[in-house]
Amino acid sequence: MKDGCRQGYYAMRLMAVVVVFACSCSGWSNLPKDEVDLAWPPSAVVEREVSDEDLVLLGREYAEKSDSASTQVDALLLTGGGILPYAIYTASGFSAELELASVTVEFALSPAEPGDGTELFVGLANYGAEAWQWLQATPGEWSVNIASPPDYRSATGLAAIAVVLAGPGTATIANVGFSAVSAIPPTPQNLTATAAPNSVSLDWDDVPNVQGYNVYRASDLSSEGVLVNDGPVLTSEYVDDNVGINRIYYYWVTALRDVESVPTDKLDIYVPHADLPAPENVHVSAVFLDSFTVKWDWSLDHPQQFIVYYATQPEFSVSLLSPKDQVLGFMRWATVKNISPDTTYYFRVVAVDDNGWEGRMTDDQPHDSGVWSWGPVEEIATGSAELRCITAAGDLTLAHQEGGAIVVSRRNQGSWTPETVLPGSYEHYLDLAYAADEYLVLGYDQPTGDLWGAIGAPGEGWATERVHGDGLSGMSRTESGVSCCAAASATEFAAMHLDSTNSTWVVQTMDRSGGGWSTAEVRSSTAGNMHCSIAFDEGNVFALGIDTVTDELLFGDRASSWTWQPVLAGGVTEVGMHNDLVRVGEDWLTPAWDNNETEICLLRGETVPWTQHVVIEPVQYQAFYIHMALRDDGPVFVYYHNSPTMWYFSVPIADGEWFTMPVQIGGVAYGPRGDLVVLDDTPYLIFTDSISGKIMAAPGAPPA
């Protein structure tokens, strides 16, 4: 194209003009038919093949042209004044699956003089009528939509466009476009539904180039459904007011061209009787072997009650006979009981007003979607008595009792190597701590009740000595009631235990640079038992102890000369805390069992009183042997039920919320001894198997 022509072309471009090509006539409008020589059928010469996107041909990419048409750079120049000049453009690849949707011609007209009748006509090859069909085009980007696509493709999938200039001026053809579209329209996306008493409102995303939509409804999943609309729905929304109350309906939508699209997935919606919202933040907080607990939020005044409907199939419908659990309106949780093991249940929650009318209902949810998997199981050693596991030196280390001795087993990438560190007759309590490449192992000698310690590392040797006691026999471990816990820092070791002979709590420390154990009697006690936790922080020693007479959980430290203050008064039993006092930032954390409320709690604080966060409420059976460990997203817990025997695992799911589930591992029968540790953010349950008599470890993995 010459510069002058290009400037004239761009100066004369207009906005796109779009019409629907539905004309069935042939002929030339007001032009003499014999002034152009266009043969039928169009030439089979094809420059390009369409795909599912637009195909744009440059003006020079014609299949056929008259002698009076000439190429100018990428464009085609039609010059009038004699035999009408023309060009034909073709594209292949059209079929019943990929139809012609529209054509576009981008051109400019340059009349020889104003009002000289210079015009451009665009013809489409109608293979159904076996003739060209014509429309007068407007300069600029002119488009025409195809109303009946099958008529405009040949048996071999060819489509053809002709451009003809009438008048003495010139026409510059910049490009010609073929737009293809699938004959089967896409499935509508993002179908949503909202319900009011006696009506359902549906909404979905627009689908381009369709004639409309069909809406279907069914009263249950097994039904084929009925067409709701009388004619095509012309917009991407629909209101169905031919519905009953207190019923679940299933809807799906299709898009229409000459054929119907694949339907959307079925969407269920409950039509309420009362104008109440659905409960919010509905989730399962606990899964047990024979029950599960559902929790929710409610921001309005208390309704009369809440109902939890449940079934063993998804997207279930409800009726008066449906299984359900009902709770009073002030409650925000319900426990569905007597469920079958190894079965997934689905549930919905709805509020009921003072008239007994049900409001909007939540979508169905599976009760076990948050349950973790555990394994593969690693066999560690033989044993069923006390054990303690920690993360140390990049892997796991376990202290346990075997044949009366205390054995330390060190893990290395799934393989465990045992080493006896305290030979003799040890039983009941033991503990293990690690810092600066050395371990402290504590245990009670059964004949004397003395507390012994071993300091060292696997493969490096161990130094053993009596930490507390006089070596006299005749006092059995179960009568003495002592317990122990260990701590280690870069400069010190520490031990805490109960001296039942003198009825005192004792804290002992030893400087790692040399010297023996120093002893501090930190509290008098009339109890025959206690449980404790001890930890170092910034050179100070901190400790927790449970007074089993007053049921008080007490917190003290060396810097305060062991002034004890209650953390949580009342309801704490000795089985509720096991050596899990952990410093996180400015706060101390520990798990506890609230015997009054039958709840497992996380206690947290820098100075007393600490705050109490409920982890599990309520527990159906008393929780034993609660252990806590830290993952990146917060503390996790395990605890033991003895009827039926099962370990349960709790993981945080939201701010102040935990999800509790059974640790289900096939082929084992849990004993009551166990621990919880975290390695590389993966929790490991350490447990005893009463069938094999083995101590085992199993990593946990969240659901995919």
Share of the chain above pLDDT 70, in %: 89
Of 13-22, 165-174, 228-237, 405-414, least confident by mean pLDDT is 13-22
Q: What is the pLDDT of residues 368-395, one digit of tens each?
A: 989 999 999 999 999 888 899 999 999 9
Q: What is the mean pLDDT of the chain?
A: 87
pLDDT of residue 569: 60
Asked if pLDDT for residue 622 goes beyond 80, the answer is: no
Contact 173, 87 (CB under 8 A): yes
Inter-CA distances, 25 with 35, 124, 133, Å: 19, 11, 6
pLDDT of residue 4: 34
pLDDT of residue 578: 53
pLDDT of residue 33: 46
Band of residue 482 on the pLDDT scale cut at 50, 70, 90: low
- Grouping H, G, I as helix, E, B as strand and the rest as coil, residue 76 is strand
* Type of residue found at 221: L
Asked if pLDDT for residue 575 goes beyond 50, the answer is: no
Band of residue 90 on the pLDDT scale cut at 50, 70, 90: very high
Q: What is the pLDDT of residues 308-333, one digit of tens each?
A: 999 999 888 888 889 999 999 999 99
Contact 446, 404 (CB under 8 A): yes
pLDDT of residue 37: 66
pLDDT of residue 621: 58
Contact 652, 635 (CB under 8 A): yes
pLDDT of residue 542: 96
Contact 349, 335 (CB under 8 A): no
The residue written with tokens 């699956």 in the block is 97
Of 72-86, 104-118, 216-230, 619-633, least confident by mean pLDDT is 619-633
Q: What is the pLDDT of residues 442-452, one digit of tens each?
A: 998 888 888 99
Radius of gyration of the chain (CA): 41
Asked if pLDDT for residue 565 goes beyond 80, the answer is: yes
Find the mean pLDDT for residues 455-473: 89
Of 56, 61, 66, nearest in space to 45 by CA: 61
Transcribe 326-374 into DSSP letters. Answer: EEETT--EEEEESPPTT---EEEEEEE-TTS-EEEEPPPEETTTT--EE
Burial class for 327, CB neighbours closer than 10 Å (0-12, 13-18, 19+)? middle
* Type of residue found at 581: L
pLDDT of residue 14: 28
Q: What is the pLDDT of residues 23-34, one digit of tens each?
A: 333 344 444 444
pLDDT of residue 619: 57
Find the mean pLDDT for residues 521-539: 82
pLDDT of residue 620: 58
Residues 6 or more apart whose CB falls under 8 angstroms from that of 130 comprise 40, 41
Asked if pLDDT for residue 18 goes beyond 50, the answer is: no
Residues 6 or more apart whose CB falls under 8 angstroms from that of 637 comprise 591, 600, 602, 615, 626, 627, 628, 649, 650, 658, 676
pLDDT of residue 180: 85
Inter-CA distances, 300 with 195, 277, 278, Å: 19, 9, 11
What is this structure's pTM? 0.70
Contact 301, 227 (CB under 8 A): no
Find the mean pLDDT for residues 474-480: 39
What whole-number distance in Å separates Cα of residue 640 and Cα of residue 476? 27
Contact 205, 77 (CB under 8 A): no
Band of residue 224 on the pLDDT scale cut at 50, 70, 90: confident
Band of residue 9 on the pLDDT scale cut at 50, 70, 90: very low
Of 75, 693, 671, 692, nearest in space to 383 by CA: 693
Find the mean pLDDT for residues 439-466: 92
Domains, the chain, ordered by start: 3-182 (2.60.120.260), 192-271 (2.60.40.10), 280-366 (2.60.40.10), 373-701 (2.120.10.70)
Of 149, 21, 48, nearest in space to 97 by CA: 149
Contact 136, 38 (CB under 8 A): no
pLDDT of residue 306: 98
What whole-number distance in Å separates Cα of residue 422 and Cα of residue 439? 13
Of 246-260, 476-490, 546-560, least confident by mean pLDDT is 476-490
Find the mean pLDDT for residues 470-483: 51
- Grouping H, G, I as helix, E, B as strand and the rest as coil, residue 479 is helix
pLDDT of residue 571: 57
Count of CB atoms within 10 A of residue 524's CB?
A: 9
Band of residue 278 on the pLDDT scale cut at 50, 70, 90: very high
